[in-house]
Copies of this chain bind each other. A is one copy, B any other.
Amino acid sequence: MNFIDMLRARWRTADSLLCVGLDPDPARFPAAFRDDGEALFAFCRDIADATAEYACAFKPQIAYFAAHDGGESALQRLLAHLKAAHPDVPVILDAKRGDIGSTAEQYAVEAFDRFGADAVTLNPYMGRDSAEPFLRRADRGCVFLCHTSNPGARDFQELDVGGEPLYQRIARTIAGEWNAAGNCALVVGATFPEELKVIRGLVGDMPLLIPGVGAQGGDALAVVRNGATADGTGLVVNSSRGILYASSGEDYAEAAARAARELRDLLRRARD
Contacts and interface: CB of A to CB of B under 8 A. Distances in A.
A98 B104 CA distance: 15
Q: How many copies does the complex hold?
A: 2
Contacts of A145: 125-126
Contacts of A148: 100, 125-127
B161 A159 contact: yes
Nearest to A132: B152
A182 B107 CA distance: 31
Contact of A159 (B100, B126, B154, B162): B162
B169 A159 contact: yes
A125 B123 contact: yes
Contacts of A32: none
A152 B94 CA distance: 23
Interface stretch (A64-72, A80-88, A195-203, A242-250): A64-72
A160 to B, nearest CB: 6
Interface string A113-141: 11000000001111111110000000000
Contacts of A173: 155-156
Contacts of A170: 156
A165 to B, nearest CB: 10
Interface residues of A, number: 57
Contacts of A102: 23
A61 interface: yes
A157 interface: yes
Contacts of A131: 152
Given A123-B123, A129-B151, 12 more contacts: A63-B107, A67-B106, A96-B123, A100-B149, A100-B150, A100-B216, A125-B125, A127-B151, A127-B152, A127-B156, A160-B162, A161-B166
16 contacts: A23-B103, A61-B99, A66-B107, A66-B110, A68-B114, A69-B76, A72-B72, A94-B103, A100-B216, A123-B125, A126-B148, A126-B157, A127-B152, A129-B151, A129-B152, A130-B152
